[in-house]
Amino acid sequence: KNSYKYDSYGATNITSPDEVNIYLATEDPRAYNEFMALKPSGWNVYADITLHEINAFRPVKGNRASWAARNTKGRAGLIALGSLLVAMEANMFVLTTKSNWSTLMNHLRTQIIDPRCQNCTQMIDLRPGIF
């Protein structure tokens, strides 16, 4: 069984898998930068592409997906689908299930990926919601 130690952004010490692939579902540049600085070498981290491509189109306050979609002429939706495809390749997830997007990722992980790979994924929930 794997053991974990993690800080506020989920950087962990994993003692087991030969290859670690992590989907980092964050749109927060600070969280991304701190996670990348603390991750062990050899980890493959797949960051949510919205971190780079959509941030410029988001309002300063709140999560206004409809505003971002309108201002990107629908590109935000395409980027979200790309993030979904990347997530399907990971075996480790750092999520905040208080977020709708992270809850969706967790349900896909537990209902689609795990049944196909004999429960090969794991998740660290930094801000648990109800699911």
Q: What pLDDT shows up at residue 3?
A: 39
Q: Is the pLDDT of residue 116 over 90?
A: yes
For the CA atoms of 8, 90, 121, 101, the dihedral, rounded to the nearest 10 degrees, stands at 60
- For residues 18 and 107, which has the higher predicted lDDT (pLDDT)? 107
Q: What pLDDT shows up at residue 78?
A: 87
Mean pLDDT confidence for 91-117: 88
Residues 99 and 127 sit within 8 Å (Cβ to Cβ): yes
Average pLDDT, rounded, for the chain: 76
Question: Does the pTM of the predicted model rise above 0.85?
Answer: no
- For residues 58 and 74, which has the higher predicted lDDT (pLDDT)? 74
Q: At what angle are helices 75-87 and 100-108 packed, to 10 degrees?
A: 40
Q: Is the dihedral of CA 19, 110, 35, 5 positive or negative?
A: negative
Q: What pLDDT shows up at residue 120?
A: 92
